[in-house]
Structure 1
Amino acid sequence: MDNENKYNYEAEKQKVLDKKIKARTTYTKKVEIEKKPDWFKVKLPTGDNYKEIKTELKKNNLWTVCEEASCPNISECWASKTATIMILGGTCTRACKFCHVDTGNPGGKLDLNEITNAAKMVKVMNLKYLVVTSVDRDDLADYGASHFANVVRAIAESRPDTLVEVLIPDFNGVEEHMDTLAKSNPFVIAQNVETVKRLTHVVRDRRAGYEQTLKCLEYYKKKYPHISTKTSLMVGLGETVEELIETMKDLRAIDVDIVTFGQYLRPTPRHLPVVEYYKPEVFEYLKEKAYEMGFKFVASGPLVRSSYKASDYMDHLKAQGHLK
């Protein structure tokens, strides 16, 4: 973004701020934006590779988050041999105000088939990169850390060449359980800060915190420096660009390697409203700033999600000669 466009954007942004300041700070007023901008239009999933993979998954009774979340990037990611799966069941013990996952108490139940199914999926899909994510499981003694680790190990044993990124809960910040996960040696450990510090208490569950997420990411980087760390932020919840930049500074202070920015979309009327749709050029500006600050890899765009084109980081390292 050149200086003139940046100036125009900041002036326009200030006008929006003046009109929506109450919604940005307290959410006592709901700001409704019914129609999505033109840049949210995406093509339906297509291609022989996509159809073949979908058929094979169905035949083997396997499911990806990509399908269940109707991700608009599914054919693009599958074409690059990348996918995302969710473990630890489908019921979360926390209730973040942006998330559409069911909230409740799973009662300590675990599906051990998830371990073998994950290993099976990388073979069926011929994956070179798999993102493993989950709900929060505060009902489990170790918050699900050992189950996560067992999934990572099973994939490594089944297909050693497949790199695994884990998008994990905070395990309540208990270092013993964080160690359990890290010792399974995933390629990337991701934990999402989700939003800027000011909005954390209205966006995330009360048990999740801005400082706790930073503390966890810092712990992984200091104790396991060979593992890359990653986090993601949603935009359009009422934050300012200045706050996003401050968040980036906080992340770089603890040496986070990867950051992504994507537009928040309201899943149902019961969830937080969209305050603003960011323009593509603003996402590009955030990307430029992030690289200037020293992040190793950045993904930024309206349709970017935590695991969007996650394997691009792998390709980036290969191009630089840091990974075979």
Structure 2
Amino acid sequence: MAVLIDTLGQDRRGKQVSAEEAARPRHPEKAHRPDQPVARKPEWIRVKAPGSPKWAETQRIVKENALVTVCEEAGCPNIGECWEKKHATFMIMGDTCTRACSFCNVKTGMPGPLDDNEPAHIAEAVAKLGLEHVVITSVDRDDLADGGAEHFARVIRAIRATSPKTTIEVLTPDFLRKEGALELVVAARPDVFNHNLETVPSKYLTVRPGARYFHSIRLLQRVKELDDSIFTKSGIMVGLGEERNEVLQLMDDLRSAEVDFMTIGQYLQPTRKHHPIVRFVTPDEFKSFETIALTKGFLHVSASPLTRSSHHAGDDFAKLKAARLARRGR
């Protein structure tokens, strides 16, 4: 597992590191980008700082198992709330991504080898936390022949072996140009398959340059073709300069792929080197997006300034199941 450096000059396992290493820029690959002013957050998007005893207990379990969480790596604003409830989204295959998306706070570079013990460590942490629903995501691993698909499958199987009642949600990369990769993950039968579009197609060149919009749509559609019992899910950020009609068209594209669940949240700029926030979308606009998306046929929609892919994932899974049963019972 890669070593992660925090702001106190320690790695995530508590080991002291040199001042030079601690001061090294987290995103050297973004150093060439011009600084962008970081907009002041409106009142509706501010959250309480983490630090409760339950939050500390979750942090301890994560550290003891040498795990990486997207909660920390992506600087999620909901970490205090989620870790208070012992909810954590585990990020597998290291902390270094092979892509350099302009919105993302995960560092870019050449990742290290896969940790063969990681599936067992993840399964142990899930059991210790007593999770009823767990979300597993990863960095992009374009360096691997299968994009890390078999590793995803191994993690799913390890959790099933130790916590058979825990429902599993995966948030995967796009497996671009990785023949047969998607099939490996679907064969492991996660309960929810999530792959985020992140933004509208017109913004891909500046926001998500390594990805292809219609490939991602096709990926989600293919999951349903392989196993229509698996719930599919996708999410976007708003505030990146997209037009309202582009968001509505994206909803239609997702429904054409039979996606069940959509999330919409406000983009928050991690540093001055990342894509700027073009505007803060108001809570009323998010409510409008939610209403429209539901009329388009999604089983469930989560749209708010602080919505993130994994936020309230367990509660949302229960709502998904109930909505499917209600629709089939008509």
Q: Deviations over 1:12-59 (max 9, x none)?
A: xxxxxxxxxxxxxxxxx9974521111111122355433433344444
2: CA distance between counterparts of 1:69 and 1:153?
Answer: 26
TM-score (normalizing by structure 1): 0.84
- Higher percent of residues as helix: 1
Structure 2 letter corresponding to 1:102 = K
2: CA distance between counterparts of 1:114 and 1:58?
Answer: 13
2: CA distance between counterparts of 1:212 and 1:57?
Answer: 34
Q: CA RMSD in A?
A: 2.3
- Segment drifting more, 150-159 vs 314-323: 314-323
Aligned residue number for residue 295 of structure 1? 298
1: CA distance between counterparts of 2:213 and 2:126?
Answer: 33
Aligned residue number for residue 76 of structure 2? 71
Runs of 5+ consecutive residues of structure 1 not aligned to the other structure: 1-28
2: CA distance between counterparts of 1:231 and 1:319?
Answer: 19
- The correspondence for 2:119, drawn from 112, 115, 133, is 115
- Segment drifting more, 38-47 vs 314-323: 314-323
1: CA distance between counterparts of 2:137 and 2:175?
Answer: 13
Aligned residue number for residue 266 of structure 1? 269
- The correspondence for 1:189, drawn from 193, 201, 205, is 193
Alignment pair present for 1:106 and 2:106: no
CA apart distance, 1:319 = 4.4
State the secondary structure of the residue aligned to 1:95: coil
1: CA distance between counterparts of 2:84 and 2:98?
Answer: 34
CA apart distance, 1:271 = 1.4
Aligned residue number for residue 4 of structure 1? none
The answer as to whether partners of 2:36 and 2:275 remain within 8 angstroms in 1 is no
1: CA distance between counterparts of 2:319 and 2:68?
Answer: 28
Aligned residue number for residue 161 of structure 2? 157
Structure 2 letter corresponding to 1:192 = N
The answer as to whether partners of 2:153 and 2:185 remain within 8 angstroms in 1 is yes
- The correspondence for 2:40, drawn from 29, 35, 52, is 35
List aligned pairs for 1:14-53, cutoff 5 A: 32=37, 34-45=39-50, 47-53=52-58
TM-score (normalizing by structure 2): 0.82
Structure 2 letter corresponding to 1:141 = A
The answer as to whether partners of 1:262 and 1:302 remain within 8 angstroms in 2 is yes
The answer as to whether partners of 2:68 and 2:92 remain within 8 angstroms in 1 is no
1: CA distance between counterparts of 2:184 and 2:159?
Answer: 16
Aligned length: 294
- Cα gap change, 1:140 to 1:186, in 2 (>3 Å): same
